[in-house]
Amino acid sequence: MSRDYTEMEKKWQKAWTDQKLNEAEPDSRPKFMLIFAYPGLTGYLHVGHLRGYTYADAIGRYKRMTGHNVLFPVGTHATGNGAISLYNKIHAQDPKTIDYLKRNGCTDAELAGLTSPMAVVKFFNGVYVNEYWKRFGFLADWRRFTCTLFPDYAKFIEWQFCQLKAANLLIQKPYYAPFCPNCGPVAVDPSETDLSKGGNAETQEYTLLKFWCEEQQLYLVAATLRPETVFGQVCFWARPDLEYVKIKKGKEIWVVSPQAAEKLELQMDGVTTIGKVKGDEMIGWQCRAPMLHKLIPVFPAAFVDPDVGTGLVTSVPSDAPDDWDSLEKVKQDPALRVKYGLSQKLIDSVKPVSIISIEGYGEFPAQTIIEKMKIADVEDPAKVRELMEEAKKQVYKDGYHMGRMKDTCGAFAGLRVEEAKDKMKQAMLDSGEAELFRDLTEEVVCRCGRRVHIKRIDDQWFIDYGNADLTARTKEHCKGMQIFPQEYYDNVGGVLDWFRERACVRLGNWLGTKFPFDPKWTIEAISDSTLYPLYYTISLYANEGRIKPEQMKPEFFDYVVLEKGTAAAVAAATGIDTTLLDKIKADVHYWYPLDINLGGKEHMTVHFPVFLMNHRAILPDSMQPRGIIVNWYVTGKNKDKISKSKGGAQPIPGAAAKYGVDSMRLYYAHVASMFVDVEWDEDIVFMYRQKLERIMTVVEDLIAAETDVPAGDIDAWLLSRFNTHLAEIRTAMEKYDLRQMATVVYYDMTNDIRWYGRRGGKDKKTIREALRIWINTMMPITPHVAEELWHEAGFEGLVAAAQLPVADSRVQSAAAEYGEDLVQEVIGDVNTIRKIAKTETKKAVIYTSPAWKVDVLKMALADQTAGKLSIPALTKECMANLELRKNGKATAEFAKKTAVDVMHAGAAARQPVADLNETALLQSACGFIASELGMEIAVYSADDTAKYDPQNKAHVAVPGRPAIYLE
C-alpha cells in the first residue's frame, strides 16, 4: 500500500501548531528545557545532521507526554565569514556555487535575492527552519528562534562579556595566530571554514639558532625543531643557488631566506630588510655554533627549502639523514671543492659527532636509518625525497622516546632526549644564542587567496578558562549532571583541566558581535555561543517587538537574569515597563536551568567545556545546566564524510519526500545507539519505511478484526505484556535510550500483537486498550504515523497532546507471560527435534513435569527467598519427605540441578515456572499447537498412569521443560 506521507505529515503538523502544542509558556507543570547545539550556517545540511536534531525532538515529545511542560527552542549560528564568503561567490557568479545552491532547491528568485551576506544568513535561516526542522515535525517553539547575528542577540553577548570582565576572566596577552594580510586572523582547521588550502597545517615552534660570523659581522640564522642536537653540529648548510636577505633586527644583522624574513617581520619587532646576499657567496664562511662555541664552515646543500624555517640549516649528520647524505655528497664530489674553493683539509676536518644513543641504532642513527631503508639504491629523486622525510620522522620519533644524551653533550650528558630538548632550548634562549619562531607545517591560503603566516598579536583578548577556581567549581558541578554517554561523564573533568585560555575575539571583517571594550575586535564564533540557551527564554520578547535591542542594556539582563537591581530602576534606565520586566524575569527563572544540551561528538572538547564554564562563571547555582547528551555521526559509505556526489548528499526535503519523515525518524532512533557512527544507507531507510507500513497495516487489521467476545487468557497475556512494555519504556527513557524504546515499541509490541492474533485474540476491549497504549508509545519517534493511527482508531483529541499511560501492575502477570513463552518454546522444540530426526512425523506427545519435581522447585524457591538455599540443605529437605524419599537417587540429582539453577537465575525468574499449571495450559493450547505444527498433539502429565509413552520419555520432563516424543 502506498500512502501520501507528505500530505499526512502536513495535516498533522498543522493540527499541532493550530493547538500551539509547540509553544511553551510557564504553567504549574514541572518544566523541561532542551536544545540541540545550534548549527553553523555554512550552507545546506545533509541527512546526517538530522540525527541529533531528531533525538532532541523525540526526547522533548517523550517529556511532554510524561507530564512536563517542555521548551524546545532552536536557532542558528552565523558568526564568522561563512556567509560573507558564500555571498562573495554568489556575487562573482561562481558556477560551482550556483549549481550547488540550485541542486539543493534554491530557486532563481531566491538566488536573485541573495544580495548581501545578511541576505544569505536570512535565506538559510528560512531553509533550516522550514525545510529541515518543521519538515521533520519538530515541536519547537518557533517564536523564540534566534540567530547569532540578530541585533538583540548581540546585546546578550555584550552583557555576557561584561560579566566575564567583571569576573576577571578576560585577559590580554600576545598571541601567535595564523594571519591573512587581508582578512586578519583565520582559523586553520580541516573543515577549512576560513581557508582555501592548508586546513591540516599545524603551528610548529622552531628554535632559531644564531651563528656569529666574525668576518662578516652578522648572524647566520638557522631554524631547528631539534635543539637537543646542537652538540652534533659540524657544519652549516646554505643553498648556493638561492638569494638570501640581510635583515636588521634590533642591533643585529641576520641572514635568512626572503620568505623567512617576511614571516619574521610578522612575529618580531623592528625587523627590516637591509640587503641581499647570494647563497654561493656564503659557502666557505666560518661561523660560531651556539652552545658548542666552535667554528664550523658553511657548505652547500640541495635539500634546503627557503619556505621552511629560515632557509638555512645547521648540520647534525649524526642524527639528521639529510645532513648525513649531504655531507657524504660534499666529501665525494671534487667538483664542489673546486667550485667553492673549499680546501681538502677543511672538508676532512668535518666529521660527524655521535651525540645520542638509541637502542637499535649504531653510532650514527642517521646513517643507520639510511642504510636500513636502502635509500641509496633508489633512483627517482622524488621517491628519495619522500624516503628521506620518512627517515627523518622515524629517527626523530625513536630518538625522542628512547634516546639518551651521550657524554659528548656537556652538561646535558645522560639526560633522556625528552628532557634534554627543553632544557637545552631554554639554556640557549637564556644566553641569547637562540630565539623562538613559529611557522605552519604546510602552505596555508586564505579564502581571499592570500598566503597565511603566523603573526604575533600583542593585545589579544582571551577568556581565562585556565582559571583554577573556575575549573574546580565547574568540575564539581559536572559530578551532579546527567551526562551521556558514561565515558564522557567520566572524562569531562579531564577535558576541563586541559582547557586553558582561549582567544575570544578576532580582527578583520567578520560577522559577529563587536567586543564591547574595543570595537576593533569581533567576538569569535565559539565564544559567542556558550551561554546562549539562556537567551531563548528572552528572545521571544525581542522577536515579538515587545523589547527593542537598544533597550536591552546590561541593567536589563542584570535584572531579569541575575535578579540585580529593582524593576523601577531598570524600567527607568531601559524604558521597559516593570510588569514586562517581571514577566521576563519570571520566565527566565521558570525555564532555566537547561535540562539537556545535545550535540555531536565534535563538541566534547570544545563547545561543551566552554558552555559549562561560562554558565559556572556567570550564573548562580540554581541556573547551572543539568544534562548533556553527545551523539555520534551518520557518515558516508566507508566512513567518508557524506559526499556531495553520492546519495548521501540528497537534499533533506527530497529524502523526506522519498521515505517519509517518520521512516527517517525511526531510522535515526533505531539503527544504532546514539554513541556509535552509522553509515548512511538508503536501503536501510527504506527498510524502516516498510517496517512502519507493516505496523500501520497491523493496526488497521486489528481495528477491523475487533469484536465483542469474552476475554480469555490471551487477552490477559497481551495486556500484561503491554503494561510490562510501558514500564520498560520508562526505564529506558530515564537514560534517554531512544533505541531501546524503539525496539520495544516497533518490534516487541508488534510481535506481541501478532502473537495475540495468531492465538485467536480479537476482544474489542482488549484491542482498544492495547492500541491506546501502543499508539501513545509511537508518538515520540514517529509522531505523524501515531497521529494518523490515533485518528483511525477513533481516539479523541491529538495523541501529541496525550499522556503516556502508566504501567498498571495489577494487570501484569508474570505467570501469564511465562505461559505463552512455554507454548512458543514447546513449538520450537518440536520443530527442532523434527528437523534433526529428518523423518516424517505425524504426532507429537508432550509430557509435563511430574508433580514431585514441581514440589522440589517450590521448596528451592522458598529457601532462596529465605536466603538459605544450598544443595545439601535442599537435598536434606527433600529426603525428609517420605514420598520423595522413595525415589531417593533421582530426587537428590534433581534437587542438585534445581538448587544450582535457582541460585543462578534468582527466585523471581523461576517463580512463574512453579506457579503455572503446565498441563492445563498446554491442554488448552493443544489445538493451537497442533495447527501451528500441522500434526496431531497429545498432552499428558508425567504422573498420568494412563499416558501413551512408548519410549519412556516422560521421566525427563521437568518444570518449564516438558518432555517430547515424536512419531
Partner RNA sequence: GCCGACGUAGCCGAGUUGGCCAAAGGCGGCAGACUCAAGAUCUGUUCCCUAGCGGUUCGCCGGUUCGAAUCCGGCCGUCGGCACCA
Q: How far apart are CA 632 and CA 52, in angstroms?
A: 8
Give least dist CB 455 to RNA, A: 9
User: Which residues within the stretch 46-65 sit at the binding site for RNA (CB under 7 A)?
Assistant: none
Q: Which amino acid is at 94?
A: D
Q: Which amino acid is at 825?
A: E
Give least dist CB 479 to RNA, A: 17
Q: Which is nearer to RNA, 656 or 798 (CB)?
A: 656
Does the footprint of RNA cover residue 202 (CB under 7 A)?
yes
User: Which residues within the stretch 839-858 sit at the binding site for RNA (CB under 7 A)?
Assistant: none
Does the footprint of RNA cover residue 673 (CB under 7 A)?
yes
Q: Which is nearer to RNA, 117 or 962 (CB)?
A: 962
Among 119, 429, 604, 851, binds RNA (CB under 7 A): 604
Secondary structure of residue 442 in the 3-state scheme: coil
Q: Which is nearer to RNA, 231 or 361 (CB)?
A: 361
Cis peptide before 593, with omega less than 30 degrees from 0?
A: yes
All cell numbers assigned to 574:
531601559
User: Which residues within the stretch 352-411 sit at the binding site for RNA (CB under 7 A)?
Assistant: 397
User: Which residues within the stretch 441-460 sit at the binding site for RNA (CB under 7 A)?
Assistant: 457, 460
Does the footprint of RNA cover residue 119 (CB under 7 A)?
no
Size of the residue set binding RNA (CB under 7 A): 92
Per-residue x/- marks for RNA, 707-746, CB under 7 A? --------------------------------x---x---
Q: Which is nearer to RNA, 351 or 694 (CB)?
A: 694
Among 432, 747, 887, 927, binds RNA (CB under 7 A): 747
Closest C-alpha to 260, from 208, 311, 304, 221: 311
The contacts of residue 747 (CB under 8 Å, 6+ apart) are: none
Give least dist CB 922 to RNA, A: 12
Q: Which is nearer to RNA, 411 or 956 (CB)?
A: 956
Q: Which is nearer to RNA, 43 or 627 (CB)?
A: 43
Helical residues (DSSP H) of 506-553, grouped into ranges: 536-543
Q: Which is nearer to RNA, 17 or 482 (CB)?
A: 482
Give least dist CB 328 to RNA, A: 29
- Stretch of residues binding RNA (CB under 7 A), selected from 33-41, 104-112, 241-249, 379-387: 33-41
Secondary structure of residue 629 in the 3-state scheme: strand
Per-residue x/- marks for RNA, 87-116, CB under 7 A? ------------------------------
Contact 102, 111 (CB under 8 A): yes
Q: How far apart are CA 635 and CA 641, in angstroms?
A: 5
Does the footprint of RNA cover residue 833 (CB under 7 A)?
yes
Helix axes 682-705, 764-778, angle to 10 degrees: 150
Contact 368, 361 (CB under 8 A): yes
**Cα Rg of the chain (Å, integer):** 38
DSSP β-bridge partners for residue 76: 147
Q: Which is nearer to RNA, 243 or 679 (CB)?
A: 679
Closest C-alpha to 894, from 943, 948, 849: 849
Q: How far apart are CA 965 and CA 954, in angstroms?
A: 8
Contact 756, 718 (CB under 8 A): yes
User: Which residues within the stretch 900-939 sit at the binding site for RNA (CB under 7 A)?
Assistant: 901, 904-905, 909-910
Give least dist CB 491 to RNA, A: 5
Secondary structure of residue 305 in the 3-state scheme: coil
Among 328, 419, 792, 829, binds RNA (CB under 7 A): 829
Give least dist CB 557 to RNA, A: 21
User: Which residues within the stretch 175-194 sit at the binding site for RNA (CB under 7 A)?
Assistant: 175, 177-178, 185-191, 193-194
Q: Which amino acid is at 418?
A: E
DSSP β-bridge partners for residue 440: 203
| CA geometry: angle 525, 529, 535, nearest 5 deg | 140
Contact 958, 918 (CB under 8 A): no
Give least dist CB 227 to RNA, A: 16
Cis peptide before 485, with omega less than 30 degrees from 0?
A: yes
Among 475, 603, 616, 665, binds RNA (CB under 7 A): 603
Give least dist CB 465 to RNA, A: 6
User: Which residues within the stretch 498-527 sit at the binding site for RNA (CB under 7 A)?
Assistant: 498-503, 506-507, 524-526
Q: Which is nearer to RNA, 352 or 960 (CB)?
A: 960
Number of residues assigned to the chain: 967
Dihedral angle sign, alpha carbons of residues 471, 473, 478, 479: positive
- Stretch of residues binding RNA (CB under 7 A), selected from 308-316, 384-392, 402-410, 672-680: 672-680
Q: Which is nearer to RNA, 728 or 967 (CB)?
A: 967
Q: How far apart are CA 362 and CA 453, in angstroms?
A: 39
Q: Residue by residue, what is the 3-state secondary structure of 654-712? A: HHHHHHCHHHHHHHHHHCCCCCCCEECCHHHHHHHHHHHHHHHHHHHHHHHHCECCCCC
Give least dist CB 426 to RNA, A: 19
User: Which residues within the stretch 458-487 sit at the binding site for RNA (CB under 7 A)?
Assistant: 460, 465, 487
Among 6, 182, 578, 605, binds RNA (CB under 7 A): 605
Give least dist CB 125 to RNA, A: 14
Q: Which is nearer to RNA, 408 or 605 (CB)?
A: 605
- Stretch of residues binding RNA (CB under 7 A), selected from 62-70, 319-327, 346-354, 666-674: 666-674
Among 103, 385, 754, 876, binds RNA (CB under 7 A): 754
Closest C-alpha to 467, from 497, 506, 492, 503: 497
Give least dist CB 503 to RNA, A: 3
The contacts of residue 490 (CB under 8 Å, 6+ apart) are: none
- Stretch of residues binding RNA (CB under 7 A), selected from 171-179, 364-372, 588-596, 852-860: 171-179
Q: How far apart are CA 671 and CA 153, in angstroms?
A: 37
- Stretch of residues binding RNA (CB under 7 A), selected from 73-81, 96-104, 275-283, 436-444: 73-81
Q: Which is nearer to RNA, 489 or 795 (CB)?
A: 489
Burial letters 531-567, b for 16+ CB under 10 A, else e:
bbbbbbbbbbbbbeeebeeebbbbbbbbbbbbeeeeb
Q: Which is nearer to RNA, 39 or 227 (CB)?
A: 39
Q: What is the greatest pairwise CA distance in the chain?
A: 122
Q: How far is CA 738 from the centre of its chain?
A: 17
User: Which residues within the stretch 852-891 sit at the binding site for RNA (CB under 7 A)?
Assistant: none
Does the footprint of RNA cover residue 80 (CB under 7 A)?
yes
Among 21, 336, 567, 966, binds RNA (CB under 7 A): 966
Dihedral angle sign, alpha carbons of residues 780, 769, 824, 956: positive
Does the footprint of RNA cover residue 226 (CB under 7 A)?
no
| CA geometry: angle 957, 961, 967, nearest 5 deg | 65
Phi, psi for residue 212 in degrees, rounded to 5: -75, 130
Does the footprint of RNA cover residue 703 (CB under 7 A)?
no
Among 69, 267, 513, 529, binds RNA (CB under 7 A): 529
Contact 212, 219 (CB under 8 A): yes
- Stretch of residues binding RNA (CB under 7 A), selected from 153-161, 311-319, 601-609, 868-876: 601-609
Does the footprint of RNA cover residue 679 (CB under 7 A)?
yes
Alpha carbon distances (Å) from 608 to 483, 631, 708, 834, 860: 11, 13, 57, 59, 53
Q: Which is nearer to RNA, 713 or 829 (CB)?
A: 829
